[in-house]
């Protein structure tokens, strides 16, 4: 693991130890009506939109995009929805990525789309925190515990998005009951991007589905900057793409989201 990822895991652990008991003390939240991610993908497909999960991302390791207050996060998410995004991803990791649960809550209040919580989940307590429809679970971090976290996430009403980067992690993911698998094109050891990761791993999922009569939703994550990048991973077998940096760096989040949404048409 890259130093910045190890740093995030350590600070997350410390934060949970400091605040964990408070989370338990909270009044149980009324279950809100979850939004269906799989149905949203099907709708985009039927309308000929490329299924784009647009990410509200204030910073990434070594890079700062923009300070994003809860109100600003909501405004960005609204532009993304208007431009035809299929879902919104919101970073909630407060250190390196400078995200917040407040951003997540404000975004979900503002848009009608399913919302993904993007964080480093390492403790079950984090699944007590409401506010999203989908939750990211990283196979490379949870390892053998992945299956139990997937079950707990489902029990809590979340749609888990299990993130993988290698054949071994993919094998772990396929042993769980997740319906959504994210292929991260970014290597967590070097932080380098290679879209060939999707080209390498997507066919294994398709083959597994054929053999087992299952059908996973494949999300290609990270490193896409242009329409041709989107076409490349969709042709490799992705059902959806997850894009953050390119949107945060553009002058118009609305226009850039639209460009990605229009970059691929199902035939
Ligand atoms: O900004 P990009 O390269 O478009 O990538 C978005 C998303 O895939 C990336 O933010 C991400 C993928 N997996 C993560 C895990 C934790 C935090 C962030 C991520």
CB 169 within 8 A of CB 188: no
CA of 48 to the centre of ligand 1 (A): 25
Residue 152: CB atoms within 10 Å: 18
CA of 186 to the centre of ligand 1 (A): 8
| Residue 83: both structure tokens together | 């431009």
| Residue 151: both structure tokens together | 């079950």
* Alpha carbon distances (Å) from 146 to 103, 172, 178, 192, 223: 26, 7, 10, 24, 25
pTM comes to: 0.94
In the predicted model, is pLDDT for residue 69 greater than 80? yes
CA of 89 to the centre of ligand 1 (A): 9
From the CA of 119, give the closest atom in ligand 1. 16
In the predicted model, is pLDDT for residue 139 greater than 70? yes
CB 2 within 8 A of CB 190: yes
Ligand 1, atom 18, lies closest to the CA of 118
119 lines ligand 1 (CB under 6 A): no
pLDDT digits (tens, 9 = 90+) for 94-108: 999 999 999 999 999
Residue of higher predicted confidence among 266 and 138 = 138
Task: Identify the CA nearest to 92 among candidates 107, 114, 110.
Answer: 107
DSSP 145: G
- Secondary structure (H, E, C), 154-219: HHCCCEEEEEECCHHHHHHHHCCCCCEEEEECECCCCCCECCHHHHHHHHHHHHHHHHHCCCCEEE
55 lines ligand 1 (CB under 6 A): yes
Q: Which residue has the tokens 């605040």?
A: 19
CA–CA gap between residue 90 and residue 72 (Å, rounded):
12
pLDDT digits (tens, 9 = 90+) for 184-223: 999 988 999 999 999 999 999 999 999 999 999 999 999 9
Count CA within 13 A, CB hemisphere, residue 58: 20
* Alpha carbon distances (Å) from 129 to 26, 107, 134, 156: 10, 15, 12, 10
Task: Walk me through the domains of the chain, giving residue ranges and CATH numbers.
Answer: 34-261 (3.20.20.70)
259 lines ligand 1 (CB under 6 A): no
From the CA of 57, give the closest atom in ligand 1. 10
- CA 207 to chain centroid, in Å, comes to 23
Q: Best mutation site among 7, 60, 180 for ligand 1, i.e. most ligand atoms within 8 A of its Cβ? A: 60
């Amino acid at each position: 693991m890259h130093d910045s990822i190890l740093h995030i895991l350590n600070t997350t652990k410390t934060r949970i130890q400091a605040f964990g008991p408070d989370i338990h003390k909270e009044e149980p939240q009324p279950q809100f009506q979850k939004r269906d991610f799989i149905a949203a993908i099907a709708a985009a497909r039927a309308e000929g939109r490329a299924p784009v999960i647009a990410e509200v991302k204030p910073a990434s390791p070594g890079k700062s995009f923009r300070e994003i207050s809860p109100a600003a996060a909501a405004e960005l998410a609204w532009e993304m929805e208007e431009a035809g995004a299929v879902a919104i991803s919101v970073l909630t990791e407060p250190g390196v990525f400078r995200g917040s649960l407040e951003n997540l809550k404000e975004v979900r209040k503002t848009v009608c789309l399913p919302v993904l919580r993007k964080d480093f989940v390492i403790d079950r307590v984090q699944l007590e925190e409401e506010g999203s429809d989908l939750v990211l679970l990283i196979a490379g971090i949870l390892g053998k515990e992945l299956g139990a976290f997937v079950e707990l996430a489902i029990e809590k009403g979340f749609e888990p998005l299990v993130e993988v980067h290698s054949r071994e992690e993919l094998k772990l993911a396929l042993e769980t009951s997740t319906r959504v698998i994210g292929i991260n094109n970014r290597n967590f050891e070097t932080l380098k991007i290679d879209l060939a990761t999707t080209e390498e791993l997507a066919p294994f999922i398709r083959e597994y589905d054929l053999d087992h009569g299952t059908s996973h939703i494949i999300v290609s994550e990270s490193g896409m900057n242009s329409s041709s990048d989107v076409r490349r991973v969709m042709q490799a077998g992705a059902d959806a793409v997850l894009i953050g940096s390119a949107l945060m760096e553009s002058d118009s989040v609305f226009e850039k989201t639209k460009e990605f949404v229009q970059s691929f048409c199902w035939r």
